[in-house]
Structure 1
Amino acid sequence: MRKLQLSIFFAVVVSGLTSCMNESADPTSKYYDANDVEIQAYKDQNGGTVTTTGLYYKITTPNTAGKQATVGEELEFRYKATNLKGQFVDSSAATAPVYYPLGIQSVFPGLEQGLSLLREGETATLLIPSYLAYNDQAKTNLPAYSVVRFDVTLNRSRSEEQQIDEYIANNKLTVTEKTASGLRFIRTVTNANGTTPGIGQTLTIKYLGKQLRNASAFDSTGTGTFDALLGQSKYVKGFEEGLSKMKIGEKATIIFPSTLGYGTSGVIQSNRYVITPYAPLRFDLELVSAK
């Protein structure tokens, strides 16, 4: 059985689901071999499939017509984790699912791989060996180097366009303009007598930026202002495009896909994603003055 040596992933989206694999871990250790034996015995008794990486999965509620989980899309799912005796280890909140951009490697690799095998509406049982899960980290009812069982239901896999459109509808926003690039411009305060700044001017602005799923901002001017030089490609494309549509004295909300933001890389600070890859962003802007 081929096993993976994987470094610690950035823990940002789903607390409690991150891998504790260490690069120096010996994948031929007796613990890992014992995991494989346990998983194979379960497969022999219950059917299912063991992948080349060592992950076991069995679709318990199929939906062959459902959309396949897609890298870069936001997955909405629920899970319950137990040990092989059925004792509770962890679960998603009873009143809320988990949201996770598939492919950003912020949860341990066994869960990431298991999610990628599902279609919308499907439920699966995953048996994840320790080398693809918690490794040497003990959890409640789960000793170190143990196989963990996940029962997972994939509710939805949403593209960035779907996320943006649903966000706008849910927040009852009225889009002033949707540009060819995918930016949604929502003018919230109009100043018909204001002038439109030109390229090369310095704009004094106030702003607040956040991901659509997050209540808190990843950045803002707070009670102060920020001087932005327009048209010099100093900022992400969506931010510059939004500013270019404003007149002095106006306020606007702009929403744009990751292709106009931080793309497939996101923003990392102190080994954590401040902005995840594939993240559509919202900025609330005020153009105070220009010179």
Structure 2
Amino acid sequence: MNKSTFWLMLASIVGLLSSCMSSGEDTTQRYLDNENKVIQFGKDNNLTLTKDASSGAYYNLTTINATGRSPKATELVKVYYTYRKLDGTLLDSTTSVPVSYPYLTYSSLLNVPVSLLKEGEKGVFIFPETSQYTEPTMLTIQLIATRTEVEQVSEFVQTKYAGLTVNSTSSGLQYVLTKVTPTGDLVKAGQTITVSYTGNLLYPTKKRDNNGFYIYNGQFDTGSFSFVLGQGSTVAGFEEAVSKLKLGDKGSFVFPSSLGYGQAGSYDSSKGVYTIPPYSPLNFEIEVTAVK
């Protein structure tokens, strides 16, 4: 998948041009001509196309799952897709790993087909125009799954911590201690704590490594830093996680977005991407290396 195209689709730059077309006659006629091309494409390929009134897209569901679950806003949806021009030119596609993103939390071309699919369903969605292309383009897409935050955390914990003792708190934090120092006290508010850590989303994303090769993982940050516990200098889930440790302890912690970056997520404006998408539960591996 081309990295820039991916984020154009998932970070609100791509939308339906039909929603913001000028009233100029040339533009209107071009759009009508494109609609005719879409309709003819459907006839030539034996596709019975239905027009979605809200988006202007034409679609045909190729696999139906009438009892499947429909996505709800902010749920994490996972999809496979191929994006092409009608002449077959490939514009973008997923590979063996599906794209995952929080549904309806920002503008995305993928929101259109996802709104019309249930889990397990596949379809062809054709757009007469988009803000990126003034000619018809086509998404062939399958909705793999849709999950609430609670479900994401539950599935992650069951897989990652299988067979281990999982601790839970009333706030929603869940954790496993992976190294326990036999003596000493838990860190306290007001102390300066130094930690090494790695932060991960609960699902893999596509990115380039230091050598420029594409990799799939959920890691968004790693390193070490010092902070005064209890002063709100980190997100609430991270502070609560650290408070469960002693000097030398290590732990793996999972918490909901309400203890993390919430509905805003963490957006890198210099790159035009979400480091942490909205409504994302997080996993941190943390070790306390110094206490003052």
TM tier, shorter chain? 0.7 to 0.9
Matches within 5 A, 1:111-260: 111-131=110-130, 134-135=132-133, 145-173=134-162, 174-214=164-204, 215=217, 217-221=219-223, 225-260=224-259
Contiguous gaps of at least 5 residues in structure 2: 205-216
Are the aligned partners of 1:50 and 1:57 in contact in 2 as well (CA < 8 Å)?
yes
SS of the residue aligned with 1:114?
A: helix
Q: Contact between 1:60 and 1:125, CA under 8 Å: does it hold in 2? A: yes
- Name the amino acid aligned to 2:112: Q
Alpha-carbon distance, 1:263 to partner = 0.9
Indicate the RMSD between aligned Cα atoms, in angstroms: 2.9
| Structure 1 residue 190: Cα displacement | 0.6
Amino acid at match of 2:186: T
Q: CA deviation at 1:81?
A: 3.0
Report the TM-score, using the length of structure 1 for normalisation: 0.79
Assess if the C-alpha contact under 8 Å between 2:187 and 2:242 holds in 1: no
Q: Secondary structure at the match of 2:246?
A: coil
Unaligned runs of 5+ in 1: 1-10, 136-144
Distance 1:162 1:67, change over 3 A: same
Specify the alignment match of 1:273 in structure 2.
274
Q: What is the rounded CA distance, in whole Å, between the counterparts of 2:274 and 2:95 in structure 1?
A: 26
Letter in 2 for 1:287: V
* 2:118 maps to amino acid: R
Report the 3-state secondary structure (helix = DSSP H, G, I; strand = E; otherwise coil) of the residue aligned with 1:241. Answer: helix
The answer as to whether partners of 1:249 and 1:288 remain within 8 angstroms in 2 is: yes
Q: Which piece of structure 1 moves more, 52-61 or 149-158?
A: 52-61
| Kept after mapping to 1: 8 A contact 2:5/2:92 | no
Identity %: 29
Q: What is the Cα deviation at residue 42 of structure 1?
A: 6.1
Structure 1 CA distance, aligned partners of 2:108 and 2:165?
Answer: 35
Spell out, residue by residue over 1:172-209, the C-alpha distance to the aligned partner (whole angstroms, 9 max, x if none): 45343122222111111111312112222211222221
The answer for the alignment partner of 1:6 in structure 2 is none
Paired amino acid for 2:198: L
How far 1:12 sits from its partner (Å)?
7.9
Equivalences for 1:25-174 in 2 at 5 Å? 26=22, 28=24, 29=27, 30-39=29-38, 46-85=48-87, 87-90=88-91, 92-105=93-106, 107-108=108-109, 111-131=110-130, 134-135=132-133, 145-173=134-162, 174=164
Q: How much has 1:50 moved relative to structure 2?
A: 2.7
Distance across 2 between alignment mates of 1:185 and 1:277: 22
Q: Secondary structure at the match of 2:6?
A: coil
TM-score by length of 2: 0.79
What is aligned with 2:6? Answer: 14
| Displacement after TM superposition at 1:116 (Å) | 1.8
* Alpha-carbon separation, structure 1, partners of 2:4 and 2:238: 24
CA distance 1:95–1:53, change in 2 (3 Å): closer
Aligned residues: 265
